[in-house]
Structure 1
Amino acid sequence: MKKIIIGTLILLFTFAQATFAHTYLKASNPTDGQIVDSSLSEITLQFETAINENSLVTLTNEEGKEIPVSNSVDNDKLKAKFTSPLEDGTYTVTYNIIGEDGHPMSGSYLFMVSSEESAEGDSQAESGEGSSFNWVMLIVGVVVIIILLSLFTKPNKRRRRY
């Protein structure tokens, strides 16, 4: 019985990423909170898996007015090109996608446009946005390790007869 439980737990832990595979934002340009100059011509969002062709990005300014963009999907990337340059201000990027697993996902983040781009904006542009770290998987992994340790370190309660 122990072998069956251990084998099941090993398989579960090995294939857990596929079991819980939702598509999350892996990187973006511009990143969340980044300050960019007005020469920005498109937003690029990269996801952890391929996304559906009907996925959309909408862009709104600080007054809530939607900025026209043309969306395109290339496997795991969603791009939104602007029809005209962005004015200085804060913008909200909102995405609605359908992942490879068929689950709809959405999210949003902010970035700012400034004619005087800061050095901080340059350093943030080089780093990837979005964390694919999954707390649920960490907790499941810890529980599996605790169960395995308890199975292998459990004292034998059988008493020997003399």
Structure 2
Amino acid sequence: MKKLLFLLISMLVMIPTIASAHTEITSSNPAANQVVKEDLKEIVITYEGKIESLSTMKLVKDGQEKPLVSVTPKDNQLVGTLSTPLENGSYTIQWNIAGEDGHTLKGEIPFTVQKEVKLDQKTETKVPVKKEETKKENVKQVQTNKQAADSSTNMKTIITVAIVVILVIGLFLLFRRKR
């Protein structure tokens, strides 16, 4: 009886730790909502833990996928090599990884390219920044990313609460039989 009680308490302590062990992003280049002013050669996303070879990413502009020469998972990084310099505009990196724990995660990283545009070889002008539009897009992406993070946190909380409820019911039934 004591062994069963010890096993149930051990599970109660360990399961929430296991449920929160998913791989999260630690950094990316370009970063979320970054304004890129130079040519990019590659896109790099770094995660907390090792990622599996099935991990992928896509680069999307105005709903259309932009080709990447290669997408390579390397330990805890996902590296996408660009074939040509990116044009000015808003982009989204759509990533999908398989963590070492076997769980798949996906997300998006929005960024903007605003390089100087050369009208002719003698004069250079900067493209005017539409601050209001960029702010609205950034706020929308931040809200989307926040909702995704909140959803992940909510799921972890639900799993933890469900495990606690199951253990409490199990302990109740166990002690009920004892009497």
Scaled by the length of structure 1, the TM-score of the pair is 0.62
- How far apart, in 2, do the equivalents of 1:12 and 1:19 lie? 12
Provide, for residues 80-127 of structure 1, a one-character-per-residue CA deviation record: whole Å limited to 9, x for no partner. 110111111111101111111112211112100111599xxxxxxxxx
1:97 aligns to what? 97
- How far apart, in 2, do the equivalents of 1:65 and 1:79 lie? 17
Paired AA for residue 71 in structure 1: V
Q: Answer whether contact 2:58 2:65 (CA < 8 A) is retained.
A: no
Provide, for residues 10-44 of structure 1, a one-character-per-residue CA deviation record: whole Å limited to 9, x for no partner. 87446733343222222211111110123221111
Paired AA for residue 74 in structure 2: D
- Structural mapping, 1:1-150, within 5 Å: 12-13=12-13, 16-116=16-116, 134=153
Specify every segment of 5 or more residues in structure 2 that has no aligned partner in the other structure, as ranges.
117-125, 130-145, 165-179
- How far apart, in 2, do the equivalents of 1:96 and 1:105 lie? 6
1:151 aligns to what? none
- How far apart, in 2, do the equivalents of 1:8 and 1:79 lie? 43
Paired AA for residue 29 in structure 2: N
Q: Answer whether contact 2:23 2:99 (CA < 8 A) is retained.
A: yes
- How far apart, in 2, do the equivalents of 1:7 and 1:92 lie? 46
Scaled by the length of structure 2, the TM-score of the pair is 0.57
Name the structure, 1 or 2, with higher relative contact order (CA <8 Å, separation 6+). Answer: 1
2:138 aligns to what? none
- 1:134 Cα deviation after fit: 4.8
Q: Answer whether contact 2:39 2:85 (CA < 8 A) is retained.
A: yes
Identity of aligned residues (%): 31
- How far apart, in 2, do the equivalents of 1:108 and 1:88 lie? 19
- How far apart, in 1, do the equivalents of 2:12 and 2:84 lie? 50
Q: How many residues align?
A: 135
Paired AA for residue 103 in structure 2: H
SS where residue 18 of structure 1 aligns?
A: helix
